Amino acid sequence: MSHMQQQNDHENSPGDELDRLLDAALKQYAAVQPREGLEGRILARMRSETAERAGHAWWRWLRAAAAVGAFAVVIAMTLRPHARPQPMVAQHPSVAQPAAKLAASSQQRKAVQRPTRRVHAVADIQVPKALPKLDQFPSPQPLSEQEKLLASYVAVYPKQAALLAKLRTEELERERIEEQSKSASKDAENSDQE
């Protein structure tokens, strides 16, 4: 049999027919074009994601600015000098001047004061009233209950009282030195930050 005849017999066999159908199907499958608009949809999605990321970028900057602002407020609050409270002074009428005399003198002051007309009042400034001058400061007062107990303890146990007083004085001195060193170190930190 010739080569040609073998080829024709081979082509006419049922297995060859199946091979040809499979080859044709595979060629058709491989030659399929992508669906229309698929590339456009992918590109549009990529563009929207980029725009979305850019839209979120300003939120990041806003959060960062808020954090920096809060940090600046905290720093400003810590560096600002704090107002120190003024010590309270006890106001006791003197023993030499009775309370009735004080009341009479304050009534005389009220009677002498005349209403004044303010032309340019910028701010009301409260001026504390002057207290009467005492012959002795602090004015003599009767001993409190604690002071009486302390005096009786010192009278009964003078050595122990002296030892306790010495220890307490040393302790107060140590506390004072610690406070001074703390305030000096705070002042040094503040001057370094400026």
Calculate mean pLDDT across residues 155-166: 93
Q: If you average pLDDT over residues 14-37, what whole number do you get?
A: 82
- Assess if residue 129 is contained within a domain: no
Determine the structural domain holding residue 75 and report its residue range.
Answer: 40-80
Considering the domain architecture, whether residues 161 and 190 belong to the same structural domain is answered as: yes
Residue 23 and residue 56 in one domain: no
Q: Tell me if 93 is assigned to some domain.
A: no
Domain count within the chain: 3
- Separation of alpha carbons 149 and 119, rounded Å: 59
Task: Identify the band that residue 10 occupies on the pLDDT scale cut at 50, 70 and 90.
Answer: low
In this prediction, residue 87 carries a pLDDT of 60
Confirm whether 157 is domain-assigned: yes
Establish if 135 belongs to a structural domain: no
Same domain, 178 and 156: yes
4's tokens: 């040609």
**Confidence (pLDDT) at 116:** 62
Report yes or no on 68 lying in a domain. Answer: yes
Q: Are 151 and 143 in contact (CB under 8 A)?
A: yes
Confidence check: pLDDT of 120 > 70: no
- At residue 119 the predicted structure's pLDDT band, cuts being 50, 70 and 90, is low
Instruction: Give the 3-state secondary structure of residue 186.
Output: helix
Domain endpoint, select from 55, 80, 105: 80
pLDDT score for 168: 93
Mean pLDDT value of segment 48-68: 80
Asked if residue 11 is part of any domain, the answer here is yes
